[in-house]
Amino acid sequence: MTFPRIKPRQTKLGEPCIVEVRIALEPELTVEHFEGLEACYTPLKVTDDDVEQQIAGMKRQRGIENDDAKLLAALPFKTLEEFAVEVRKSLETVAREKTAENKKDAVINKLIDANSCPLREELVEQQIMVQLHQFSRQIGKQNMENYIKSTGRSIDEVKQEIRPEAEAMLKKNLLLAAVADKIDFTITKRTSKTRFCGRKVRSWI
């Protein structure tokens, strides 16, 4: 579960070198509750107002807030209505993807809530460092340092901020692996034992 920690224990000239290698093993989990879980998720719906706001934002970016003709001149559409249809399609694609993520996150969060998943501190520390490294690679080392300085926090404070997300990631991976080992399942709309309730609809912006 973690990178090995290697520590020399005995080094004498002419004799074998003895080292101590320590690694954290994956915790043994007993997943008791994974069938029949009820999870609430939020399906996203695109509204006319969302489409209008998207188009208005494009106009502001081009500095042509009140000139539809200039906007159309820069686009492969004859009318603003045709462009609005294309914008709606794009927003609905994103909304479907986000809804699917909401479903998945709702089920995983319910699985975490329903089952105990103790974590060793060294596992959490490693996951925090992995996420810090990933973030640093995304924005660049110098930008990472500037970000920390601009927020007036120490690296330990940044780690504490990341900690809840790191713990959730570890629990998700461990519990999903435990469920996969426990049962051989195929999820379909007809046979899925996970139910979704309380659909709450809100607009996507």
pLDDT tens column, 52-75: 999 999 888 888 888 888 888 888
* pLDDT > 90: percent of the chain: 24
pTM: 0.59
Q: How far is 167 from 127, CA to CA, in rounded Å?
A: 8
How is 25-64 classified by DSSP, letter by letter?
PPPP------SS-EEE---EE--HHHHHHHHHHHHHHHT-
Q: How far is 68 from 127, CA to CA, in rounded Å?
A: 50
Q: Is 112 exposed, middle or buried (0-12, 13-18, 19+ CB in 10 A)?
A: middle
Could you give phi then psi for residue 8, rounded to 5 degrees? -60, 135
Confidence of residue 99 (pLDDT cuts 50, 70, 90): very high
Residues in Cβ contact with 195 at an 8 Å cutoff, skipping those fewer than 6 apart: 36, 37, 38, 39
Confidence of residue 191 (pLDDT cuts 50, 70, 90): very low
Q: Is 2 exposed, middle or buried (0-12, 13-18, 19+ CB in 10 A)?
A: middle
Provide the greatest CA pair distance for the chain. 86
pLDDT tens column, 171-181: 998 888 888 87
- Within 13 Å of residue 108, how many CA atoms lie on the same side as its CB? 16
Mean of per-residue pLDDT scores for the chain: 82
Residue 99 vs residue 35, higher pLDDT: 99
Helix (H, G, I), strand (E, B) or coil at 197: strand
Q: How far is 93 from 91, CA to CA, in rounded Å?
A: 5
Residue type (1 letter), 136: S
